[in-house]
Structure 1
Amino acid sequence: MTTNWTLTIDCADPAVVARFWCTALGYTESDPPAGWDSWEDWLTAMNVPESEWDDGASISDPDGVLPPISFLKVPEPRTVKNRLHLDLQVAGGRTEPQHVREERIRTKAETLIAAGATLIREVPMDNSTTLDHFWMQDPEGNDFCVV
């Protein structure tokens, strides 16, 4: 039997990081729980103090196929390289012509940089100068790759 799960990203500003990942993945803000018109209505009904309303965010695949991602406010900054990261697979795989792969990677990276990402390094294929992927960070420094 499988277990339901969600990926949770710790961050200082869940709304900012969630908006970035909506852009990166084509996700949307998650709907409030069934039976509620808004998150504010749900939070009020659950007696969550307004001072805690920005402590989290959640985004979802608009088609309902891929897993949701949650963002949790934490007081400490990231201090070491992530051991788990997302690979945004935009290039189409190694069966695609290299110039097509590279164009797709660069185009996606440009969009993400405009949305607040930082390019850390262009990573070549082993023993070559041919681009394999970009190592990037989201607005709060969480690692991800564009491949």
Structure 2
Amino acid sequence: MAATMQITFDAADPGALAAFWAAALGYRLADPPSGFDSWDQALEAWGIPEERRNDRSALVDPDGDGPRLFFQKVPEPKAAKNRLHIDIRSAVGLEGAERMEALEARCAELVALGASRAERFEPGGINAGWIVMRDPEGNEFCLD
């Protein structure tokens, strides 16, 4: 049997971070469990207190192709550079100035959603050019 993959994010605010990544990737909130019309209804039925209802969140690819993204609340802040990061492929097939213009446009969209820009790497040699960014909680990702 083939394994499925989930990417898990530690977060201070799982709901807000999930909302950012949903907008950035075109994902959607995972459906509530069978028998419930909403997550609020499920959490209420399970007796989860309101102050704990943002302890986790999950997103799914609406086309069913990409991995599930899971966000879990942790008490400690992000402390160091990520050893693993997500690349958002925003300029596939483009080169040079056209590629960098497409990446800059996507960068501006993501900054408007709460991301921050860290560094731009120019095309040259074997490098196609990319932009390093941070999500609203400081997790590094690249526009590629």
- TM-score computed with the length of structure 1 as normaliser: 0.89
Structure 1 segment 4-43 matched on structure 2, within 5 A: 4-43=4-43
Letter in 1 for 2:29: E
Tell me, yes or no, if structure 1 residue 117 matches structure 2 residue 107: no
1:110 deviation in Å? 0.3
Structure-1 separation of matches of 2:95 and 2:124: 17
Q: Is the 8 Å Cα contact of residues 102 and 131 (structure 1) preserved in structure 2?
A: no
1:127 deviation in Å? 5.8
Structure-2 separation of matches of 1:108 and 1:97: 15
Q: 1:127 to 1:67 in 2, by over 3 A?
A: closer
Structure-2 separation of matches of 1:78 and 1:58: 20
1:107 alignment partner in structure 2: 105
2:47 alignment partner in structure 1: 47
Per-residue Cα deviation, 1:3-43 (whole angstroms, up to 9, x for no partner): 23311101101111111111110111221122221112222
Structure 2 gap segments, 5+ residues each: none
Q: Is the 8 Å Cα contact of residues 122 and 131 (structure 1) preserved in structure 2?
A: no
Same amino acid, percent of matched pairs: 40
Q: Is the 8 Å Cα contact of residues 15 and 56 (structure 2) preserved in structure 1?
A: yes
Structure-2 separation of matches of 1:71 and 1:140: 12
Structure 1 segment 60-79 matched on structure 2, within 5 A: 60-79=60-79
Tell me, yes or no, if structure 1 residue 3 matches structure 2 residue 22: no
Structure-1 separation of matches of 2:140 and 2:56: 20
1:50 deviation in Å? 2.5
Structure 1 gap segments, 5+ residues each: none
Tell me, yes or no, if structure 1 residue 144 matches structure 2 residue 144: no
1:113 deviation in Å? 0.5
Letter in 2 for 1:139: P
Structure-1 separation of matches of 2:6 and 2:37: 23
1:124 deviation in Å? 2.4
